[in-house]
Amino acid sequence: MKSSLSLVIPVYNEEENLDELVDRCVAACDALGRPYEVVLVDDGSRDASRERIEAKARQFGGRVKGVFLNRNYGQHNAVICGLGHADGATVVTLDADLQNPPEEIGRLMAKVDEGYDVVGTVRVNRQDSLLRRLPSLLINRMVMSATGVMMHDYGCMLRAYDRRVVDAILECRERSTFVPVLANSFACRTTEIDVHHDERKAGTSKYGLFRLLNLMFDLMTSMTTAPLRMLTYAGGALSLCGIAFGAFLLAMRLLLGSEWAAQGIFTLFAVVFVLLGVQLVAMGLLGEFIGRIHIDVRQRPRYFVERIVGATGVRLTWSPEDAADEVLEHQAT
Ligand code: UDP
Ligand code: MG
């Protein structure tokens, strides 16, 4: 039998979309001929989403599961919660607003069956306003330059993750996170496919300007502590410039005399530059400590084992004495 599949869908005030969403997901998964479950995580909705989820869970007993959070925790936390309640060998995440057509899941699973452990998607005909696309463009650029990784559309949540990657994500203890980026840090073989992107069926986007900004900071701090180090570098450079400027002033004063120095105004500049630079370096050093604290409290797994070769699975029976005996026997003959 083919390996099992869990769909994880975060839901926040999506009452008008839920019926169609679940029906289409169930139909798409039925067509795949593998065991599956649909996990809907209600992220503290204030409309009738919960009742809709309960009704659907009754209708498709066993195949649809609802997990209700007591308040709104944000999309990515809801997804992580869903990952924790998913049992499938593969987990596919998607949005509840039907912008990601559930019918594409089959194509994702085909890639998973080929052996990829993270399958991303690129929205070929993205149906969002320019104002919503611009920040995404920025985010994608940022991730690409910070991680050097290979994916072009981190915003699209229609993604498939292998169980091992899901388990590694669940081991991370951080609060503010960005699931696709986290997943990529544990991936061994990734690929992307083009998918169709529809307009939101009903309701409005949950991301206003400030939530997007927030997301951007979450993303940046979950990827890198490089901006902290930039402080040290900038401060060092500024100090060096100040010292060079001071030396230049001194040389000119010796060559051309004291009236050239404009009563020491420029000397003051040189001193200020040096001091400013020293301050920045000091802040950068503080930043290095904070960055390490930040990395430690996240408690991400230190490493991710891709595979082990040469393991037999039986208990170790070989001992150094055996090896010594072997040598002696060898010498005796
Ligand atoms: N969502 C959520 N909690 C939130 C905000 C959003 O669970 O606090 C869900 C939302 O119901 C949807 C998905 O996350 O299923 C993506 O949200 P949305 O469509 O508003 O984002 P956009 O498509 O504009 O990126
Ligand atoms: Mg959407």
Which atom of ligand 1 approaches the CA of 78 most closely? Answer: 7
Q: State yes or no: pLDDT of 178 exceeds 70.
A: yes
pLDDT digits (tens, 9 = 90+) for 12-23: 999 999 999 999
Closest of 12, 71, 67 to residue 39, by C-alpha: 67
Contacts with 33 (C-beta within 8 Å, 6 or more apart), sequence order: 2
Pocket flag, ligand 1, residue 96 (CB < 6 Å): yes
Residue 49 near ligand 1, beta carbon < 6 Å: no
Cβ-in-10-Å burial (0-12, 13-18, 19+) of 46 comes to exposed
Testing ligand 1's pocket by substitution, the residue of 72, 95, 136, 209 carrying the most ligand atoms inside 8 A of its CB is 95
Q: Is 95 close to ligand 1, i.e. is its CB under 6 Å away?
A: yes
Q: Is 75 in the pocket of ligand 1 (CB under 6 A)?
A: yes
**Token pair 């029976």 is at which residue?**
317
Which range, of 15-19, 36-40, 275-279, 304-308, averages the lowest pLDDT?
304-308
pLDDT, residue 324, reads 66
Q: In what side-by-side order are the strands of the sheet with 190-195?
A: 64-68, 36-42, 5-11, 90-93, 159-162, 118-123, 190-195
pLDDT of residue 283: 95
CATH superfamily of 5-224+303-332: Spore Coat Polysaccharide Biosynthesis Protein SpsA; Chain A (3.90.550.10)
> Cα of 76 to ligand 1 centre, how many Å?
9
Round the average pLDDT of the chain to a whole number and report it.
Answer: 88
Lowest mean pLDDT among 26-40, 162-176, 259-273: 259-273
pLDDT confidence bin for 328, thresholds 50/70/90: low
More confident residue, 231 or 143: 231
All structural domains of the chain with their residue ranges: 5-224+303-332, 226-293
Q: What is the CA(115)–ligand 1 centre distance, in A?
A: 29
Answer yes or no: is the C-beta of 93 below 6 A from any ligand 1 atom: no
179 C-alpha vs ligand 2 centroid, how far in Å? 16
The length of the chain in residues reads: 333
205 C-alpha to ligand 2 centroid (Å): 6
pLDDT (tens digit, 9 = 90+) per residue, 48-87? 999 999 999 999 988 999 999 999 999 999 999 999 999 9
How do beta strands 190-195 and 64-68 pair? unpaired
* pTM, to two decimals: 0.83
pLDDT digits (tens, 9 = 90+) for 106-147: 999 999 999 999 999 988 877 777 777 787 787 777 777 766
pLDDT at 275 over 80: yes
Rounded CA-CA distance 197/126 in Å is 5
**Residue to mutate (ligand 1; options 15, 70, 75, 157; most atoms within 8 A of CB):** 75
Nearest Cα to Cα of residue 8 among 127, 92, 115, 124: 92
298 token code pair: 């996240």
Determine the residue of 206, 211, 212, 219 to mutate for testing ligand 1's pocket, defined as the one with the most ligand atoms within 8 A of the Cβ atom: 206
Q: Whose CA is nearest to atom 5 of ligand 1?
A: 75
Please check whether residue 205 is in contact with residue 14, taking contact to mean a CB–CB distance below 8 angstroms: no
**How do residues 278-300 score in pLDDT, each as one tens digit?**
999 999 999 999 999 998 999 89
pLDDT in tens, 188-221: 899 999 998 888 888 888 888 888 888 888 888 8
- The reported pLDDT for the residue numbered 149 is 63
